[in-house]
Amino acid sequence: MNVCELLSVSGEVIPELPKKELHELLFSRRCAFCYDLRLTEAASSAKQRGFDMFTTTLLSSPTQNQDLLRGILSAIESKLSIQVYYFEVTHEEYMNKMRELKDMGIYVQNYCGCYGSLLEREVQRFEQLWR
Q: Sketch the domain layout of the chain as residue ranges.
A: 3-130
Beta bridge partners of 83: 53
pTM: 0.69
- C-beta separation of 124 from 111 below 8 A: no
What is the C-alpha separation between 25 and 3, in angstroms, rounded?
Answer: 13
- Residue-level pLDDT at 27: 67
d(CA 122, CA 38): 23
pLDDT per residue as tens digits for the range 57-82: 899 888 888 999 999 999 999 999 99
CA 103, 121, 31, 3 dihedral sign is negative
Across the chain, what does the average pLDDT equal? 81
Most confident range (mean pLDDT) of 8-22, 84-98, 99-113 is 84-98
